[in-house]
Amino acid sequence: MSPAFGAMEVEHYSKGVLLEPFVHQVGGHSCVLRFNDKTICKPLIQREHQFYETLPTEMRKFTPQYEGVVSVSFEEDEDGNLCLIAYPLNGDHDNLENLDNSDCEPKSKLLRWTNKKTVLLENEKIPKEWVRQHRKEEKMKSHKLEEEFEWLKKSEVLYYTVEKKGNISSQLKQHNPWSMKCHQQQLQRMKENAKHRNQYKFILLENLTSRYEVPCVLDLKMGTRQHGDDASEEKKANQIRKCQQSTSAVIGVRVCGMQVYQAGTGQLMFMNKYHGRKLSVQGFKEALYQFFHNGKYLRRELFESVIKKLTELKSVLEKQESYRFYSSSLLIIYDGKERQEVAVDSDPEDLEDLSEESSDESAGAYAYKPTASTVDVRMIDFAHTTCKYYGEDSVVHEGQDTGYVFGLQNLIDIIKEIRDENSE
């Protein structure tokens, strides 16, 4: 059994866990799915799996926590909708039809259990005519939603208005175009291979956004080279062209995706990798500024923490002998939830108890005074990572990954420029 289940309640999901799209995925082409509130999963790629299992201790704080492996199967209903279900790696998959799926009620209309309709008819005695009408309505909604996704996927930068009273994650389930695109592509691939294969291994990783109420996520493709040593000539040429036509070749980093909350308008802004590739170095800098600006003010209190963590990561990578992190990304995450306004001359001991109701602008000067904010900096996506300790690799590199380190240094310098140009 996977190590992940030693600390988990195996009994809780021995019947299967319904996987949903991970709504905060802003980049990458591999499908990332939500396993539970604190855990995500993605298709197991042997090289990436090996990286997580042999990860140097000093790098662990800069990568998601690895939590094991699960087996993922899928089912298809009469309308062609698919759902993905995760089981313990060594569980019994030979008799899935006998499993009780009642506690795995899907929350997305695009994901439905094959036997859900039967359960409704037998247990709730709902008239068949009502069920047929309900199916028809759901199918129409599904088609309408798919049309909307097609339009959203063609938009390189788009805005989505968030309902303040609602839960951000639940609202994003139908509006994060990149997440849904990756999810649909994964389902289609599995559907096409259904005759030959119906079980896949997925790795479980820490959900880095779980601690934030309104996660703002920046996905940066790092390094001056993206193709792995095992890439075909066509793939190699394609990746080289992308680097040469973007900021990757010039500064060793480019925008791969972004999700940022604009408190001024109550909107979430999404930027995808296609827009990121078109940015000049100045455009890249402006995108970074936009990531740290919430529509009302620049989140200056985040800069020192980000710079400190990036500098520490750079120091760690400079000591990593032989590692090459080709095509990997770097995530910067912070909470977009708007901070409370406090009086500039308030007693620090009273700040925690200050509420919006007790704030009276006529009583004195009020201004944005940031409190300590948590910013996360993590490396992700290691499908093309190589190291001399990987015995099967024919190409062995020496020294540090200079392209990645070059990109980190430029990223640090640009953030410092934004900080200095916008100091109070």
pLDDT band at 316 (very low <50, low <70, confident <90, very high): very high
- Beta-ladder partners of 254: 221
Q: Of residues 46 and 267, which shows the higher confidence score? A: 46
Mean pLDDT of 329-353: 65
Q: Which 3 state secondary structure label does DSSP give 246?
A: coil
DSSP 311-377: HHHHHHHTT-SS-EEET-EEEEEEE-SPPPPEETT--HHHHTT--TTT--GGGS-EE-------EEE
pLDDT on residue 404: 98
Q: Which residues pair with 253 in a beta bridge?
A: 222
Over the chain, what is the mean pLDDT?
76
Which pLDDT does position 258 carry in this prediction? 93
Residue-level pLDDT at 359: 35
Ranked by mean pLDDT, the top range of 69-78, 273-282, 410-419 is 410-419
CB-CB contact of 408 with 359 (8 Å): no
With 0-12 CB in 10 A as exposed, 13-18 as middle and 19+ as buried, what is 83? Answer: buried
Mean pLDDT of the region 252-280: 91
Identify the residue with better confidence: 85 or 371: 85
pLDDT band per the 50, 70, 90 thresholds, residue 393? confident
Alpha carbon 212 to its chain's center:
13
CA distance 257 to 108: 24
Confidence of residue 49 (pLDDT cuts 50, 70, 90): very high
250 pLDDT more than 80: yes
Q: What is the pLDDT of residues 111-162, one digit of tens each?
A: 332 233 323 323 334 455 554 555 555 555 445 545 555 545 556 777 767 7
Residue 107 has pLDDT above 60, yes or no: no
CB atoms within 10 A of CB 123: 9
More confident: 183 or 36: 36
Contacts of 110 (CB under 8 A, 6+ apart): 81, 142, 145
pLDDT of amino acid 90: 72
248 token code pair: 């990757």
Measured CA to CA, the distance from residue 130 to residue 257 in angstroms comes to: 43
Which whole-number Å values give the CA distances from 381 to 27, 42, 61, 147, 158, in the listed order? 10, 10, 15, 30, 25
**pTM listed for this prediction:** 0.75
What gap in Å lies between CA 309 and CA 252, rounded to an integer?
A: 18
| Backbone dihedral angles phi then psi of residue 274, each to the nearest 5 degrees | -65, -40
Angle, CA of 96, 100 and 104, to the nearest 5°: 100
Cα–Cα distance, 38 to 67 (Å, whole number) = 11
Q: Which residue has the tokens 């909604």?
A: 141
User: At residue 52, what are phi and psi to the nearest 5 degrees?
Assistant: -65, -35
Average pLDDT over residues 60-71: 96
Tokens encoding 382: 């290691």
pLDDT for 346: 47
More confident residue, 177 or 175: 177
Among 21-25, 58-62, 77-81, 224-228, which stretch is predicted with the lowest mean pLDDT? 77-81
pLDDT at residue number 340: 59
Query: Is the alpha carbon torsion for 252, 254, 256, 258 positive or negative?
Result: positive
Q: Which residue has the higher pLDDT, 237 or 188?
A: 237
Q: Letter for the amino acid at 188?
A: Q
Which pLDDT does position 146 carry in this prediction?
54
Q: Which residue has the tokens 């529509």?
A: 295
Closest CA to 251 of 421, 409, 380, 27: 409
Confidence of residue 230 (pLDDT cuts 50, 70, 90): confident
> Per-residue pLDDT for 328 more than 50?
yes
Place of tokens 């639940």: 170
206 has a pLDDT exceeding 90: yes
Residue 23 contacts residue 173 (beta carbons within 8 Å): yes
| Mean pLDDT in residue range 76-104 | 56
